[in-house]
Amino acid sequence: MKKSYDVILVGAGMVGALTANLLAQQGFSVALVDKGNGQCQLSEFPYYDSRVSAVSRHSKALIEQSGAWQLMDAERLTPYHDMNVWDGLGTGEIAFSCDDVHLDELGHLVENQVLNQALLTQLESHNKLVDCFFASSVSHYEKQDEVMLVSLEGGPRLTGQLVVAADGANSLIRAQAQIETKEWDYQHNAIVATIELNKSHENTAWQSFGEEGILAILPMPNFEGRHFASIVWSVPPNEAEALLLLSPEMFCQRLNYAISNEFEVLSLISKPISIPLRQRHALQYAQSGVALIGDAAHTIHPLAGQGANLGFADAGALVDVLSKAKERGESLSNDRVLRRYQRARMSDNIRMSASMEFFKRLYETQNPLAVFARNKGMGWMNNQRLVKNHIISLALG
């Protein structure tokens, strides 16, 4: 027996779950398919999830619109008011502040598992429009006229107007659709972990570019007078392997050196995880009844923390395009409709991807002339309020 939906959405991570909620709010019927069990394991204080996202104000607005932001415990959300960036090989430094743009914060640091669980919980309020097929995966799909036929492994067959791939960087839906990607290895791994600091992070995100790699120190909630942060430490693969073999004490010692005495790292709270980094961008976001969002469409270097925000923006744009198509009586799988979504998102995503590639290449070199030039450039930019405010506006979404 086949059940029919407006949208068959594959992937219930943060971007997929947000998309499902926003679609349901617009009256679309949704089949949400995911290999997981629909539950996220939340660590208890102070054992935060090592994977965190810097949620921009624009992303926060979308999550609030879905109703999920209100479900998260405020004690697990960390607003950050400032961002300090410095060159560990010189004296260059740039400071960004929410005060410069007359806002209360630049964004929030949120554990991925906490946000994902809130989005999944919010889906329960849409149980008349959203059917969840957890512990399931797509075995095959095909398009017949304007209808997508989707078969689940050992499960039912679903029909819908549109298949949306939110199934991550190694998207099976993208592969089955034979959508090509342009990609290359960054030759870096991101080491993520939660650490305890000797003093308050002052609700500031800190980022260092030095001989020890690219290091982001992201503020997490304080707990019982203790101060915590999440790190994203981008280093070459062989260096990442060596760091993971260190004892917790030696790891903290290396981290202290990389931080350049801004803080003292007291201890590791979570075991470090190494994640290979790869730039990837689909040459098309939509094809023959299939649309790509989030990491299925693009992945970028995490040095500016914009990966999740790009995915959330994809979700908002796709739902907006589909809602307008519905008002016009257009099929959701119509190529003209899907091209509108692609136009809405591809140029922004390419610009952000190119920017991250430029900064990664600029700051990984230790050539003395390049170091001198970028330090002078950082010093100049730090005094250009209009330029800094423009950068802040882009980061806010």
Model confidence pLDDT, tens digit, residues 181-233: 998 888 889 999 999 999 999 899 888 877 778 888 999 998 889 999 999 99
Residues of the chain with CATH 3.50.50.60: 2-66+113-183+278-359
Residues of the chain with CATH 3.30.9.10: 71-110+185-277+366-396
* pLDDT tens-digit series, residues 130-171: 999 999 999 999 998 889 999 999 878 999 999 999 999 999
Taking alpha carbons only, the member of 96, 81, 53, 57 closest to residue 392 is 96
* pLDDT tens-digit series, residues 202-216: 899 888 877 778 888
What pLDDT does residue 102 have?
73
The band of 85, judged by pLDDT with boundaries at 50, 70 and 90, is confident
What pLDDT does residue 389 have?
61
Q: What is the CATH number of domain 2-66+113-183+278-359?
A: 3.50.50.60
Q: What is the pTM of this model?
A: 0.90
The domain defined by 71-110+185-277+366-396 folds into D-Amino Acid Oxidase; Chain A, domain 2 (3.30.9)
What pLDDT does residue 142 have?
92
Q: What is the mean pLDDT of residues 371-383?
A: 60
